[in-house]
A = this chain, B = another copy of it.
Amino acid sequence: MNFASDNTAGIAPEILQALVAANDGYALGYGNDDLTRSVERRLGEIFERDVAVFLVPTGTAANALALAHFSPPWGAVFAHAEAHIMTDECGAPEFFGGGLKLVGLPGVGCKLAPETLAAALAQYSGHAPHQVVPAALSLTQASEAGTIYRADEIAALARLAHARGMAVHMDGARFANALTRLNASAADITWRSGVDVLSFGATKGGAMAAEAVVFFDPAKAEHMGERRKRAGHLLSKHRFVSAQFQAFLADDCWLRLARHANAMADRLASGLAAAGHAPVWPVEANLVFVILPKAVEGRLKAAGARYYVRSSDSLPDGVALGPDELLVRLVASFSTRDADVDRFVELAAKA
C-alpha cells in the first residue's frame, strides 16, 4: 500500500529493458547520438510540429531551466501558490533565473483562474523601474491537487500572459496523466493553447530519471544548450536518458502507464467515496486528496499504508478540516495494484 509518491515506484519494465538495450557498443556523449535524435523526432510527431528538446535528469532542472530561459533576472513568474516550483524546489527557479521573483496566486484545487491572474498582473504596471516585470506564467498540468486544465482554460490564461509579453510554461511532471484524461491531443493542450515551453516529465510516469524541456518554437531555444551544460544537466552518457524517453514514447507506452495510474486513482476515489470519504477535489489524474478522521488515518498507517499528510490553502469553499481530521494525499503510479487499492479502501471504510 505505497501511495507516498509516484517517485517511490521503480522503473517501468519497458523502460528498464530499453536502458539495458542501449548499453550496446560505443556512442558519442553529450547527446550527439542517434537515440537522442530519434527522441527529438518522436516528440515532434507527438506535438505535431518542430520542437527543440533538451533532456535532463530531474523535473526541478527542467522547470528551472525553462523559467530562467524565459525570464530575465528582474522578471516575475506567476504560478499557483502551491505549485511545485513555489514550495518544493528550494528556490531553484530563483537560482537558475539570477534572482527572479516567483509570485504565488490562490486558486481552488491548485488551479489558476483567469480573473486571478488578471488582477495580479494589474498590480504590475506603471511603476517601472521599481518593480519586477511580468515575464512568465507557469501552469502545472496535472496540478499538485491532481486537477487538470482544459484546453480552453489554458488558452484563456495564456492570452492574458501573452498580452503582457509573458511566456507560458507548463510544468508537465504529470503531463501524461492529464492528457489521457482529456479528449484532446498533446498539441491541443500545449502550443495550440498558447504554451511556449513544456517540462515534459517521464520520471513520475515510469522512467528512472528523464525529463524533457520542449520548446514549441525552436528559434526561442538559442543557447539553451549552454544553459543546460552550465547547470550540470547535460549528461555525458546521454544515450541512457534518451533510451528512457524512447521507450516511454514508443507504442504509446507513456499513455498506457498513465491510464493505469489514473485508473488506480479512480478506483481509490470511488472506493473511498463509497466509504464516506469523498475526495476534496475532482480526481482527474493520479492523485487523490481525501479528508480522513485521525482514527481512520491511524489505522491505515498502522496497517502499513504509505502516504503523506498535507495541508492546503486551496480547498473548495465550504470544505475544511475538523480538529480530528487530516488531509491525506494518495498517489497512484504505473505500478499500483488493484489489491493494494482495495485493501486501503477496506481499511478506510471499517466503522
Contacts and interface: CB of A to CB of B under 8 A. Distances in A.
A231 B228 contact: no
A106 to B, nearest CB: 13
Interface in A231-250: 231-237, 239-241
A73 B65 CA distance: 13
A26 B11 contact: no
A90 B23 contact: no
A130 B91 CA distance: 9
A132 interface: yes
Contact of A99 (B30, B99, B129): B99
Contact of A8 (B27, B56, B132, B209): B27
Contacts of A132: 90-91, 226
A231 B230 contact: no
Nearest to A12: B23
Given A95-B231, A131-B90, A209 B57 contact: yes
Contacts of A9: 26
Given A98-B73, A98-B98, A231 B232 contact: yes
Interface residues of A, number: 77
A90 B10 contact: no
Interface in A85-144: 87-92, 94-102, 127-133
Interface centre among A25, A74, A225, A241 (most CB of B within 10 A): A74
A213 to B, nearest CB: 11
A350 interface: no
A136 to B, nearest CB: 14
B235 A58 contact: yes
17 contacts: A2-B26, A7-B29, A7-B237, A10-B239, A11-B23, A11-B237, A16-B23, A58-B234, A73-B94, A74-B91, A74-B227, A88-B127, A90-B130, A90-B131, A90-B226, A129-B228, A129-B230
A71 to B, nearest CB: 11
Closest 9 CB pairs of A and B: A61-B232, A94-B99, A7-B29, A129-B225, A60-B232, A10-B23, A74-B226, A90-B230, A2-B26
B129 A90 contact: yes
Given A26-B306, A129-B228, A130-B229, A73 B58 contact: no
A226 B58 contact: no
A305 B61 CA distance: 36
Contacts of A16: 19-20, 23
Find the residue from A60, A87, A133 having the highest chain B CB count within 10 A. A60
Contacts of A99: 91, 94-100, 230
Nearest to A72: B223
Nearest to A208: B240
A130 B89 contact: yes
A233 B231 CA distance: 9
Contacts of A72: 223, 226
